[in-house]
Amino acid sequence: MLDNEEFMLDTSPRELTQNPLKKIWMPCKNGHIAQRRVCMTNCPTLIVTVGLPARGKTYISKKLTRYLNWIGVPTKEFNVGQYRRECLKIYKSFEFFRPDNEEGLKIRRQCALAALNDVRQYLSVEGGQVAVFDATNTTRERRGTIVKFAEQNGFKVFFVESVCEDPDVIAQNIVQVKLGSPDYIHCNTEEAIEDFMKRIKCYESSYQPLDEVLDRDLSYIKIIDVGCRYLVNRVLDHVQSRIVYYLMNIHITPRSIYLCRHGESDLNIKGRIGGDSGLSPRGREYAKSLRKFIQDQNINDLKVWTSQMKRTIQTAESLGVPYEQWKSLNEINAGVCEEMMYEEIQENYPLEFALRDQDKYRYRYPKGESYEDLVQRLEPVMMELERQENVLVVCHQAVMRCLLAYFLDKTAEELPYLKCPLHTVLKLTPVAYGCKVESVCLGVDSVNTHRDRPENVKVQRTTDDALQTVPAHL
């Protein structure tokens, strides 16, 4: 009875106070805000890849890890091949992967177990919410071992199988990805391709694909021929449904994404943030230069997206092509600080100015947004970008930082300080496991709107310290 009374005391409603950083209401006890870790998963999830070599499993693992981290789900990839390379140091030939190579089987099993131990550490101790176990996992026995491991540790399991029989796609994957692997650093192209094809043969004899009947109790998505068809089975929660939705939207068609800001605006010149002003004379000149740049690129079926704010629409109008307006692409809402100069924010809201410098990603303007909010707002845009081919996005500084952070796999700490200058186009071209970036300055002068994090971020700092990194303006 006493235990129950204590339990009732512990769970009685607490007073609420507003977190000064995020502006959200949180329980408070004895003047202290209770710290609760936000978790988007009701229990940790282990994503397990399945498939023969050169089927895009690592590509999927890396993209999925990048996406989940971007939306705020702490995720880490565990590539068993990397564990094997660290164990062996020198790769000799496909003979290591022969099913009758007892020593090879033993080493591969040890590497898989070492990776699973690190998965346990990450999900149970380090606060991770999703782990991606990237390996072939081609036998039902191996997958059963993983399921048992997950059950023992209280993890959910979701399998992602990639099946592809198209020889052209497989050959392209080998050339683009595998030839750059440390395994083949000392081989010529022909030798490497021949050895890797023999390595695939080593797995084919024992490969047991996920089966609609035998594996009906498992949660999985089967991706067939690089997204031509999908088979989805037993999706159990929010995170698994987001994983499925994401994987059904990505593609490998070669394309480029062009990111740029609007032309310089009247408020940019005055050093004022936010607002909905029009373009300055230099901003209109940039818009004309952007038109010439896009024409010179000779891009097939280019789509143009803008926000619903005047300065991006004015910029797109000069292009002479159809464009689509997205409210989701509007600039971050600075709330009570809209159209203010940094000097005015420091004068009127010195606490807010310091809090933002302390944690720029999570800080939410009073009656406004944070970068964290902006990422959530931009998720549908990013998902549609993954579906499309060639797209030009004419947007804003904070918005461009969020999109760029997704494609370049930047952390929440790095994101708010990414440099996205006016009158510059960033051309992003997806490559094997990442993105190639080309920065093209169109040669039209503009003000600098980038403010670095100052050295002193304390609330009690001087005005000079607070304004140390404010860029020059009128």
Distances (CA, A) of 117 to 110, 123, 127, 410: 11, 10, 15, 26
State how far the Cα of 233 lies from the Cα of 221, in Å rounded to an integer. 6
The one catalytic residue in 331, 352, 357, 372 is 331
Backbone Cα Rg of the chain: 26
The one catalytic residue in 111, 161, 164, 260 is 164
Encoding tokens for residue 175?
């050339």
Residue 304, helix vs strand vs coil = strand
Those residues with Cβ within 8 angstroms of residue 5's Cβ, 6 or more apart along the chain or in another chain:
none
State how far the Cα of 131 lies from the Cα of 74, in Å rounded to an integer. 9
State how far the Cα of 51 lies from the Cα of 173, in Å rounded to an integer. 14
Q: Are 137 and 220 in contact (CB under 8 A)?
A: no
Q: Check if 262 is active-site.
A: yes
Tally of CB atoms within 10 A around 266: 15
The one catalytic residue in 195, 262, 396, 423 is 262
Angle at 260 between CA 322 and CA 457, to 5 degrees: 145
Counts of helices then strands in the chain (DSSP H, E): 16, 15
Q: Are strands 130-134 and 45-50 parallel, antiparallel or unpaired?
A: parallel
Q: Which amino acid, one-letter code, is at 252?
A: I
Query: Which residue, 145, 162, 164, is CA-closest to 46?
Result: 145
**DSSP run (H or E) holding 32:** strand 32-33
Q: Which amino acid, one-letter code, is at 253?
A: T
Q: Which amino acid, one-letter code, is at 433?
A: Y
Q: Are 305 and 393 in contact (CB under 8 A)?
A: yes
Residue 104, helix vs strand vs coil = helix
State how far the Cα of 306 lies from the Cα of 393, in Å rounded to an integer. 6
The one catalytic residue in 77, 111, 134, 369 is 134
What are residue 231's DSSP bridge partners?
222
State how far the Cα of 97 lies from the Cα of 199, in Å rounded to an integer. 6
State how far the Cα of 210 lies from the Cα of 197, in Å rounded to an integer. 23
Q: Check if 285 is active-site.
A: no
Query: Which residue, 387, 435, 408, is CA-closest to 253?
Result: 387
The residues carrying an active-site annotation are 134, 164, 262, 331
